[in-house]
A and B are shown apart, each in its own frame.
Chain A
Amino acid sequence: NAGVTQTPKFQVLKTGQSMTLQCAQDMNHNSMYWYRQDPGMGLRLIYYSASEGTTDKGEVPNGYNVSRLNKREFSLRLESAAPSQTSVYFCASSDYDRDGGYTFGSGTRLTVV
């Protein structure tokens, strides 16, 4: 029962480099989310995908792109990393049709130098 799996767990990037954060869930959930967590800011929604084939912007989408590859997988891409994107990134999934809670992954700690 893996739940939500995120890779990598840690990453250091230089300013201007690109990378993709991977997320996969095995609970057959329709909806998937990407959040960033910064000290004192709580959890801020970057992008979400209500169902396979759809994606929408959240509160802080600038500098990011996403792909809902299939029902299981939802990736987050940083095209040109900036120090302001240093954060902990969490992927989550839910079956929102039934007003269910979110299941979170264990996070990716990203540092941009």
Chain B
Amino acid sequence: GENVEQHPSTLSVQEGDSAVIKCTYSDSASNYFPWYKQELGKGPQLIIDIRSNVGEKKDQRIAVTLNKTAKHFSLHITETQPEDSAVYFCAAKLSGGGADGLTFGKGTHLIIQP
């Protein structure tokens, strides 16, 4: 099955700086890569996703890049703000993997220092 590794487990950045979270996946058949943000006491919320036919996707201060050859994808947050503090999860889904095909990384706790 698919295996997703996520780094770092904790990331502390100064407000206004950029943050980058990286994930690698094992199965080249994976074709869908979502990112989730989980605020304290809440459920994970989808913030951005990318499919294997696209190399980069942006949504305001958030961007995701995908390198299919190296089998890794990254989340980039620019001009970080206090409300960006949260736990972020990456995930990968196997093409045709069925209903259980989404595999999650173990999460990154992003801390924005004022």
Contacts and interface: CB of A to CB of B under 8 A. Distances in A.
B74 to A, nearest CB: 18
Contacts of B107: 42
A43 interface: yes
A106 B34 contact: no
B45 A104 contact: yes
A31 interface: yes
Interface of B: 9, 31-32, 34, 36, 41-46, 49, 51, 89, 93, 98-102, 104-107
Rank and list the top 6 A-B pairs by shortest CB-CB distance, nearest first.
A104-B43, A50-B99, A42-B106, A31-B99, A101-B46, A101-B34
A68 B107 CA distance: 29
Nearest to A105: B43
Contacts of A31: 99
A101 B50 CA distance: 10
Contacts of A90: 43-44
Nearest to A43: B104
A37 to B, nearest CB: 9
